[in-house]
């Protein structure tokens, strides 16, 4: 049987990179994608140098449909299938350079930041799904993970960590991503395709900062778990550390 193929977006650093490493360890064919060719190739070579010859780079900007289409076409040409899609690429723009003390709020966030965040964190995953789903349907196999956040939760206590306010564009984008996850799970429930949202926890990456409580590798564990679920596994849920958490 052909090796299963995993596509990870925004994988040149941080949690996406850690997901690629974990999937490579599990012997998947890993397509490490990134919008910057140079950075992506360096990241790929780093994994290859560790002995993971099953990792390949593909340029992919999640905000550009042409780039997504080209990437998917290339992957199919080279590897014949796409079994796993990890929508990991993300932006967190609510702490503007000039806002060292306070993150933006609904009252003062420039709408451009909201649009930019949603374009990457929501429209990107939707476009990726639109281009990859037909392939998964043909295979009657697919696992999709949308990388979400505890900051998307509308019902859970930890949501009040930040007083429940602030970070509007990020929160709004991840709530929307959760709804994409739920919607899609109903739309594809007759197929052997599972889609889940996963919060990696607070991780030490460029986005999470150096004070975060876990490594990118630790954050990636739950994502890779959801990306490698067995048939008849859960779908349409939000997870952290392999446990369902409320939306």
Ligand X SMILES: NC(=O)c1ccc[n+]([C@@H]2O[C@H](COP(=O)([O-])OP(=O)(O)OC[C@H]3O[C@@H](n4cnc5c(N)ncnc54)[C@H](OP(=O)(O)O)[C@@H]3O)[C@@H](O)[C@H]2O)c1
Of these, 5, 72, 86, 91, which contacts ligand X (CB under 6 A)? 91
Residue with tokens 């446990």: 243
CB closer to ligand X out of 136 and 199 = 199
Residue closer to ligand X, measured from CB, 149 or 196: 149
**Of 175 and 212, CB closest to ligand X:** 212
Question: Should residue 34 be labelled a site residue for ligand X when binding is judged by CB under 6 A?
Answer: yes
3-state secondary structure of 239: strand
SS3 216: helix
CB of 203 to ligand X, least distance (A): 4
149 binds ligand X (CB under 6 A): yes
Q: Kindly state the smallest distance separating residue 78's Cβ from ligand X, in Å.
A: 19
User: Is residue 42 within the footprint of ligand X (CB under 6 A)?
Assistant: no
User: Which uninterrupted H or E stretch holds 87?
Assistant: strand 84-87
Residue (23 or 141) nearer to ligand X, CB: 23
Q: Does 128 bind ligand X (CB under 6 A)?
A: no
Q: Which stretch binds ligand X (CB under 6 A): 51-59, 134-142, 204-212, 237-245?
A: 204-212
Cα atoms found within 13 Å of the Cα of residue 223, Cβ hemisphere only = 33
Using the rule CB under 6 A, which residue among 5, 7, 8, 10 binds ligand X?
Answer: 10
Beta carbon of residue 230, minimum distance to ligand X (angstroms, whole number): 24
Our answer to whether residue 247 is catalytic in this structure is no
232's tokens: 């008849």
* DSSP code at position 217: H
Residue 186's CB is within 10 A of a number of other CB atoms, namely 10
Q: Give min distance, CB of 87 to ligand X, in A.
A: 8
In this structure, the strands spanning 193-198 and 238-240 are: parallel
Rounded to 5 degrees, what are φ and ψ at 152? Answer: -90, -15
Q: Is 187 in the site for ligand X (CB under 6 A)?
A: no
* Residue written as token pair 């079994």: 83
Choice among 28, 52, 104, 170 that is catalytic: 170
Q: Is 61 in the site for ligand X (CB under 6 A)?
A: yes
Q: How many CB atoms lie within 10 A of CB 97?
A: 5
Nearest to 14 by CA among 197, 152, 177, 218: 218
Three-state DSSP class for residue 88: coil
Q: Considering only residues 93, 203, 226, 245, which one is a binding residue for ligand X as defined by CB under 6 A?
A: 203
Q: Name the CA radius of gyration of the chain, rounded.
A: 17
What are the residue numbers of the active site? 170
* Footprint on this chain of ligand X (rule: CB under 6 A): 9-10, 12-16, 34-36, 39, 61-63, 88-91, 120, 147, 149, 199-200, 202-203, 205-208, 212
């Amino acid at each position: 049987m052909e090796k299963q193929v995993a596509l990870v977006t925004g994988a040149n650093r941080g949690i996406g990179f850690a997901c690629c490493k974990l999937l490579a360890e599990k012997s998947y064919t890993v397509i490490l994608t990134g919008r910057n060719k140079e950075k992506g190739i360096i990241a790929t070579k780093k994994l290859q140098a560790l002995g993971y010859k099953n990792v390949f780079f593909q340029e992919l900007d999640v905000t550009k449909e042409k780039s997504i289409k080209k990437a998917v076409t290339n992957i199919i040409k080279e590897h014949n299938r796409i079994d796993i899609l990890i929508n990991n690429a993300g932006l967190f723009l609510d702490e503007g350079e000039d806002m060292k003390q306070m993150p933006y709020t609904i009252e003062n966030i420039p709408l451009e930041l909201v649009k930019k965040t949603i374009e990457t964190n929501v429209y990107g995953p939707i476009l990726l799904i639109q281009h990859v789903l037909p392939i998964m349907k043909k295979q009657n196999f697919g696992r999709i993970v949308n990388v979400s956040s505890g900051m998307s939760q509308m019902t859970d206590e930890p949501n009040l960590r930040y007083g429940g306010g602030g970070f509007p564009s990020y929160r709004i984008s991840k709530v929307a991503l959760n709804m994409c996850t739920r919607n899609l799970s109903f739309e594809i429930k007759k197929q052997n395709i599972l889609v889940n949202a996963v919060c990696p926890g607070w991780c030490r990456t460029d986005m999470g900062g150096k004070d975060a409580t876990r490594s990118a590798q630790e954050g990636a564990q739950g994502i890779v778990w959801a990306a490698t679920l067995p048939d008849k596994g859960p779908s349409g849920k939000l997870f952290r550390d392999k446990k369902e958490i409320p939306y």
